[in-house]
Chains A and B, each alone.
Chain A
Amino acid sequence: MTGHQPSDSEILASLPDRPEAMGVLYERHAAAVFRYLARRAGPSTAEDLLSEVFIAALDGGTRVVAHESGSALPWLYGIAMNVLRRNFRQKSAQRGAAQDPEMDWDAVDARLDAEAKREQLRSALNVLSHHDRELLLLVAWEGLTPAEAAEVLGIGKVAARSRLHRARRRALQALGCGVPSRPAVEMTAATGKEMPA
């Protein structure tokens, strides 16, 4: 006989009185949070930061409502993003050199075998704002829906879909893919007017 398995929502609701319930979330989501960290900072840093994410979640998550999908992962990714930023900022200060605040490019490059591909990826992602890039990667790397990614970034679902579309378009254009022969235009979600991309 199997006992009742509490949902993420139930666990989140119980955290203020039962901090040990964070352990259940850890067992469920630690592997995914590790992959999130490893994709952006490499496996070594991800190992160092994994516990920090759940500890920060314990400190900050006194009362949290799960995403409507029922998963606590979008919330945990948001905290992981914050922990990563802080880590990169500290490293940047220690090295005395500017660093991408959300990405260790050496760690990303290590997963691409050809130099040419590394340059292509950078050219595609560097045309995006940090927010749009993170939106794109949350969907592509973490497999989140645009609505779940919207929660991570604290933006609306409609805005997320619109910005994801725009981000993909710009990245593709930077790669020379699907670029129309005439000046590119895009449709803004809010006004329906065409404007230069």
Chain B
Amino acid sequence: MNLLDDLLDSTGRVEDITPDSLRNARAALDSTIRGARTRHAPARQSANLRSPRPRRKIIVAGTAATAAAVAVAVVPRLSGQRPAPAHPAPAHSTAVTAAFVLREAANATKADPQQEGWPHAAYWHAASIEVRDGKTYHRDIWIAHNGDAILEDSFLPLPPGPQPVQPAGSGLGTLGSKPGWLTWDELYALPTDPAKLGPLLTRDSVGLIDGSPARNLWSTITDLLVETPASPALREALYEVAASIPGIAVNEDYIDALGRTGTALTLGGQTLVINPASGQLLAWIDVTPVGVPGSFPFTYTYTYQGPTTSEP
């Protein structure tokens, strides 16, 4: 045993918990468990007061005509009784700056061996769960090179099984000057130098749909980061550009629906939860304010994202 192991061994020995302390902590837990059985009722009640808001990503995509078609295809009968998400926008602290977290994530992403991306994969598959009113809904989306997508979402009132989302899925981000979604080729053509990418995203984030240039840029970057086959090099650049956006709130202690700890970054209605140590995207939260047409809040917690060759 070397000196390091000797020191670690010595300091690793601690007394076991006493039976009294064990019982006391158990009593506190049991009290919370009893409360957990009943706490969903108020959420249902308040959810009934919410305005119906179809999925934001679907509406924002492309032209108005396209958006309408997609909305009909994916959300055929929206009611006003959608339950509220179980994981609302996280509380924020200012212990670290968003720029620090985003640059850490950029550095971690740099180490990913797939720097060239996945240009030859057949589909990009993103699997997530959404917890609403104590129930877990599964969502899978497969996005093809041209932006077409197949969606299977147990929350939406869809027929059973995968459903085509025409003409574009909710995966690939939009740039303001270009109607519709980006194809994979267009995504891979984006510059991976932050100095070039930043002005491009700012220039094309037109329309101020999210209320300010900063929010619009953050929303554009979010669209390009979530559920897309963006290469690690592009993701690194996107994190770097995002680090320049002022006003992003940080919560280092966000625990997602899978129990993973991540850092939540919020600006406007958009929150990304990431693991800065790996650059991995853990969750995407959208609480776009009521009144934005075609939008309802959601929290997608990602269980898998990656290329696949098989159809759903």
Tally inter-chain residue pairs, CB-CB below 8 A.
156
A23 within 8 A of B: yes
Contact partners of B26 in chain A: CB under 8 A: 23, 26, 30, 51
Given A47-B17, A50-B25, does the pair A168, B258 have CB atoms closer than 8 Å? no
**Separation of A141 and B9 alpha carbons in the complex (Å):** 7
A39: nearest chain-B partner, CB-CB: B14
A190 within 8 A of B: yes
B278 within 8 A of A: yes
Identify which of B11, B16, B259, B262 contacts A64 (C-beta below 8 A).
Answer: B259
Contact partners of A57 in chain B: CB under 8 A: 259
State the interface size on chain B (CB cutoff 8 A): 53
**Separation of A121 and B111 alpha carbons in the complex (Å):** 30
Contact partners of A89 in chain B: CB under 8 A: 93, 95
B33 within 8 A of A: yes
Tell whether, in the assembled complex, residue A140 and residue B5 are in contact, meaning their CB atoms are under 8 Å apart: yes
A108: nearest chain-B partner, CB-CB: B11
Identify which of A16, A35, A38, A59 contacts B135 (C-beta below 8 A).
Answer: A16
Listed in ascending order, the chain B residues whose CB lies under 8 Å from chain A are: 2-5, 7-17, 21-22, 24-26, 28-30, 32-33, 36-37, 86, 93, 95, 111, 113, 129, 131, 134-136, 252-253, 255-262, 275, 277-278, 280, 282, 303
Listed in ascending order, the chain A residues whose CB lies under 8 Å from chain B are: 16, 19-20, 22-23, 26, 30-31, 34-35, 38-39, 43, 46-47, 50-51, 54-65, 75, 78-79, 81-82, 85-86, 89, 108, 111-112, 117, 120-121, 124, 131, 136-137, 140-141, 153-156, 159, 168, 171-172, 175, 177-178, 190
Task: Give the top 6 A-B pairs by smallest Cβ distance, nearest first.
Answer: A60-B255, A51-B28, A51-B25, A140-B8, A19-B36, A34-B17
Write 20 A-B pairs (CB below 8 A) sorted by A numbering: A26-B26, A31-B16, A35-B16, A38-B14, A38-B17, A43-B15, A47-B24, A57-B259, A63-B258, A78-B261, A82-B255, A89-B93, A111-B14, A117-B7, A121-B7, A140-B5, A154-B275, A172-B3, A175-B4, A177-B4
